[in-house]
Amino acid sequence: MKKVLVGKFTYLDDIEKVIDELLKAGYSKKDISFISPFPVEHIIEKLGGSDSPVKYSVLTGGLLGFASAIGLVLITSLAYILPVGGKPVVAWIPYVIVMFELTVLLGSIFNLIGLIVFSRLPDIVLFIGWRPFLPSFTDDKFGITVSTDRVDEVRAIFERNGAEEIREYS
When binding is defined by CB under 8 A, the residue of 79, 149, 152, 170 that contacts other proteins is 79
Smallest distance from other proteins to CB 166, Å: 18
Smallest distance from other proteins to CB 45, Å: 9
Smallest distance from other proteins to CB 82, Å: 6
- How many C-beta atoms surround the C-beta of residue 73 within 10 A? 20
Q: What is the Cα–Cα distance from 31 to 84, expressed in whole angstroms?
A: 65
Contacting other proteins within 39-78 (CB under 8 A) = 39-40, 43-44, 47-52, 54-55, 58, 72-73, 75-77
Smallest distance from other proteins to CB 84, Å: 8
Tell me if 91 contacts other proteins by CB under 8 A.
yes
Contacting other proteins within 93-122 (CB under 8 A) = 94-95, 97-98, 100-102, 104-105, 107-109, 111-112, 114-116, 118-122
Phi, psi (deg, nearest 5) at residue 20: -60, -45
By CB atoms closer than 10 A (0-12, 13-18, 19+), residue 83 is exposed
β-pairing, 3-9 vs 32-35, is unpaired
- Closest to other proteins by CB, 150 vs 162, is 162
Tell me if 163 contacts other proteins by CB under 8 A.
no
Tell me if 159 contacts other proteins by CB under 8 A.
no
CA 14 remoteness from chain centre: 25
